[in-house]
Amino acid sequence: MAKKETEPKVMLEREYIVPLRKGWLKVPKYKRANKALKTLKEFMVRHMGVYDRDLRKIKVSELINNAIRARGMYNPLAKIKVKAKKYDNGIVRVELVDIPTYVKFAQLRKEKILSNISKKAKPEEKKEEATPAEIEKKEEAKEKEEASKEEGLAKAKMQAKEMKHVAKDKGIRIQRKALAK
């Protein structure tokens, strides 16, 4: 008998406003956003009753991470409103309740960029296949073009070399009229 994998059931669902400032004020500026995330996880462990207070059982959504780090590593959010769902397997998933406008803007921008990239990446439709004779003619034309380009470059190099060895005329210096008086 094969075991069916069932999705874990939500046992507990709560909303919190998590204070982050007390946590990140205790560390150097360059570590503040990291400490804010850790403070969020510690808060969730404490309030959601996670076994052994294991921080690895707290799964934070990407939106929360982006929201906390939106103002940079040095100046994370002071507090954040989240929704926590505890499942029967002991894992707690944390999501944003209200998505801030700057995070929505960043999401839209990212989606727009990705859609533009996918439009450019679409392969062109295949045209009718050419006969071997037509393919050979195209290859010969390309080879001729390349050969003419190489020949033109070689001529230009020779001319530059010749010009380099020609003595330059020392012309008469023209004085400005103001100085000539």
Mean pLDDT of 139-159: 85
44: domain CATH number? 3.10.440.10
Question: CB of 79 within 8 A of CB of 19?
Answer: yes
Burial of 83 (0-12, 13-18, 19+ CB in 10 A): middle
Question: CB of 90 within 8 A of CB of 57?
Answer: yes
CA 150/CA 62 separation, integer angstroms: 54
Give the domain extent around 29. 10-99
The verdict on residue 171 lying in a domain is no
Q: Please, which residues bridge with residue 80 across strands?
A: 18
With CA atoms as reference, report the closest residue to 14 among 48, 62, 45. Answer: 48
pLDDT in tens, 46-68: 999 888 888 999 999 998 998 89
The verdict on residue 23 lying in a domain is yes
Confidence (pTM): 0.56
The verdict on residue 69 lying in a domain is yes
Q: How far is CA 135 from the centre of its chain?
A: 41
The verdict on residue 61 lying in a domain is yes
The verdict on residue 174 lying in a domain is no
The verdict on residue 130 lying in a domain is no
The verdict on residue 1 lying in a domain is no
pLDDT band at 173 (very low <50, low <70, confident <90, very high): low
Domain count, the chain: 1
Question: CB of 106 within 8 A of CB of 99?
Answer: no
pLDDT in tens, 94-123: 999 988 777 778 778 888 888 888 777 665
Question: CB of 54 within 8 A of CB of 45?
Answer: yes
With CA atoms as reference, report the closest residue to 65 among 94, 90, 42. Answer: 94
pLDDT band at 136 (very low <50, low <70, confident <90, very high): confident
